A and B are shown apart, each in its own frame.
Chain A
Amino acid sequence: MISSFIANPAFLEDIIRILFVFVLITAAFTLSTRNIASLLTVYAVQSLLMVLIAIFLYMIEGNKTLIAIAALTLVSKVLLIPLFIDLIGEKIKISRDLKFNYLEPTASLIVSMGLILLAYVFLSGFFSELIMSKLFFMGAVIGLSLTLMGMLVIFSRRKVITKAIGYLTMENGVLLFGIFVADLPFIIEILIVIDLMILVLLTTILAIGLDSTIEEYHQRLQTLKIWSGSGD
């Protein structure tokens, strides 16, 4: 009975749709969660969802690259990156990110609903739905919205760690968009992952070496006259 479900593409598509919703929910959590440890878990879960989506898509399409992407994502984003960031967290002893710029969590959720709509309207202008199947179109929409929500995280949260997670979320969005629309070559995906690793390393240096918020970082730069933002 179970095997008959798995062989049925309609059933798999339904599952992918459900996963889409969960992906957006994780993004919503990244926007509003205050506890850094749970923020990290949310990111890991989000990446795991990416892995699952890639695997299910492979079952429908049979494209081998998808499996490779799934494996790479599992190793890098579900395991390694969260581990790194966890290490940073331990070093700098920040457990919470409480303050928000411009948008409170409730407002940013409303904004992200608007973003999803915008993504839908924007993409439906480009892709005629006749060319693409509904599922792939949805994938593109969700990918784009995820990228935008990641951007929202970057500017609405204060701490560097959270900002880094916002960036990682954006990357997940690009990945999603890629596997559903652009047929992202595998090599680019690898390059992006390497980029991410470097980003996380840089964040580590920044966060541990200097301080925990970008503003304080700027202040330090100013007092050291490395970067004269105030123009004196």
Chain B
Amino acid sequence: MLEAFIYIAVIALITGTVLPLLYSSKKSRKASFGLSFVSSIFLLVFAGTILYTGEESVFPAIRFIPGLDFTLTADRLSGGFILLIAAVVSGVSIYSVEYVEHAKSEARKDLQAALTNLFILAMMMVVLAGNMVCFLVFWEIMSLSSLMLVLHDYFSEENKKAGLFYFIMTSLSTAFLFMGFISLFKLTGSAEFGSLNYPASDLTLPFLCLFTGFGIKAGLVPFHKWLPYAHPAAPSSISALMSGVMLKVAIYGFLRFLLSISTPELWWGTLILIAGSLSAVLGVIYAVKESDIKRLLAYSSIENIGIIFTGIGLYLIFKLEGVESLALLSLAGACFHAFNHALFKSLLFLGAGSVVHATGTRNIEAFGGLIKRMPHTTTLFLIASVSIAGLPPTSGFVSEMMLFQAYFYSSALPDPLLKVLLIITLSVLALTSALAAALFVKLFGITFLALPRTRCAQEATEVPKPMLLGEAMLAIFCILSGLFSSRILALLDFDLGIPDMLLLGLILVGTCGLVRIAVRNSGPSKTRTSKETWGCGILDQLPTMEYTSAGFSEPLVVIFKKIYRTEISSTRTYSDTKESIFNSGTAKIHLIKFFQERLYLPVAYAVSLISSQVSRMQNGKLDTYVLYVFIAVLTLMTFTRYFA
């Protein structure tokens, strides 16, 4: 019965993919997004039921080639991630109805609608996949459809570069996944996902391959570089899906593998924890410097992925040290953070899309004063900002608090050195969350508050209703999942003893009201509103006097200058020989892109060097190839005679 929901969703999404390609019209695009909305509702119901009842539903296998079956299964883990997909898709599909109409040509609009549906379908199927074949096939469809969406504006040089970068990284990720899955297949002899009862030493290679593969896709440092390229290039609704959902699909894959292992090793947990903490703090530090709104959000995604991985690492460590309650707390924290991040990050990307649409630029320095011009977008953006900055009683706070709580109770661990590791990573997490707050004060404050800094911000107007409706949908999910967090978790049988956010929220609102009532009747009732901002006596305040985005992050840039690795170089020429009369000069501040220049490029050079050597062997002459075959046959013969 429940399986029917999935079938309906699949049919709806396939129809949604085909429809705009067959009939190019605004109506068919509308219908296409309508279908994805419908499918998201069915998925919501399906996932909700699975999560609540905890029963596993297995679908009949579909056989293409004997021995290679497509099996679909859904348990609570996949149920949770289906819920995440469905929640985000419901908002994004409404938003896209209007948003897609701003693309440059009819063909692109159709393509965008079709590919969005295909992308959603692929992500959903990856999560439902019951075996490796099915997983990898849909994984590739997911990667390719998102690649085409990143390249939607393919004439721009910047986007081409972004697409290429994304393509290389995602291929690399798939390569690692293949390696990991093949080595698992060799070990188990079966392509099905099931529990893996093997000694940890046999599982080390699959673990490393899969960790790297999923890590690349999820954007873990040092494999994160594709995110800040791909996200700004893609349309905002797609960035929302990629950042909100696709990164989580990678996390799902990793969890699926990790949770099926009965005997993991401690150093895996340590590795995951360190990689997670590093991604979190570096992600947010790089984000602070950014002034491209979408790139900033991309870096912030890296940070949040880092937090999720921190939770997974903590889970492994606590589990192996036998502290079950904390293990559960950190795993639940990681999953809940994945869910919450999906909601507020897609909301932020949609909001950013609205702002970019209204102003025509992605540069934060050009914004300002949008709160007066786009009040609804601002409110929705504020909800997401407060959430991602982790302020109670929102959802972002709850999941971070679960991790903090696990950390704070870690005195239960027996090993002192492990405790020290946890203390170090705890302080990193604290730094991360405080920096995230600073980041979103900057983003929100510079974008929406004070006076508009340029004409394009001056002339911005509120976006059409469907776009607002889509965002509002996500905002409502976001608020609900925060306020009812402890109830939701209790409903799912997770008794974690976390504070009730509903109570806190109610007290907060109540106190606010009381304070308002208390001071309302004091003093004159009339408030004067028209008095200039004080500018040391300068009247007519100009937008140029405001603090800028770069100015706002300057103290942090100075404090963390070792991490940003800025290089300041200057040249001077003088008019006289004594070098006292200054003639002219240049000063340059160069930001070393550490990972790109020190890690990616050397690897790329090495690869291109090797391949140029190899390509010399490939000279196109038939004789040479026969020679190769001849040598190969001789080698084989010798080898089989003496060594085999």
Contact = CB atoms under 8 A, between A and B. Distances in A.
Interface of A: 107, 117, 120-121
Interface in B542-573: 562
Contacts of B420: 117
A107 B561 CA distance: 12
Interface of B: 416-417, 420, 562
5 contacts: A107-B562, A117-B417, A117-B420, A120-B416, A121-B417
Nearest to B420: A117
Contacts of A117: 417, 420
Contacts, number: 5
A214 B420 CA distance: 38
Nearest to B559: A106
B440 to A, nearest CB: 26
A117 B416 CA distance: 10
Contacts of B562: 107
A156 to B, nearest CB: 15
A124 to B, nearest CB: 8
A120 B418 CA distance: 13
A28 to B, nearest CB: 16
Contacts of A107: 562
Contacts of B416: 120
A120 B421 CA distance: 14
A107 B559 CA distance: 12
A120 B417 CA distance: 9
A205 to B, nearest CB: 39
A121 B420 CA distance: 11
B629 to A, nearest CB: 57
A121 B415 CA distance: 12
A232 B420 CA distance: 52
A60 B562 CA distance: 47
Contacts of A121: 417
B10 to A, nearest CB: 53
A121 B562 CA distance: 29
A120 B562 CA distance: 28
Nearest to A117: B420
A152 B417 CA distance: 23
Nearest to B424: A113
Nearest to B562: A107
A6 B420 CA distance: 32
A89 B237 CA distance: 67
Contacts of B417: 117, 121
A199 B14 CA distance: 84
Nearest to A113: B424
A107 B417 CA distance: 22
The 5 closest A-B pairs by CB, nearest first: A117-B420, A121-B417, A107-B562, A120-B416, A117-B417
A176 to B, nearest CB: 21
Nearest to B421: A117
A106 to B, nearest CB: 9
Nearest to A104: B562
B34 to A, nearest CB: 56
A41 B247 CA distance: 55
B270 to A, nearest CB: 15
Nearest to B416: A120
A135 to B, nearest CB: 16
Contacts of A120: 416
B24 to A, nearest CB: 60
A120 B420 CA distance: 11
A164 to B, nearest CB: 29
A117 B423 CA distance: 12
B427 to A, nearest CB: 10
A121 B416 CA distance: 10
Nearest to A121: B417
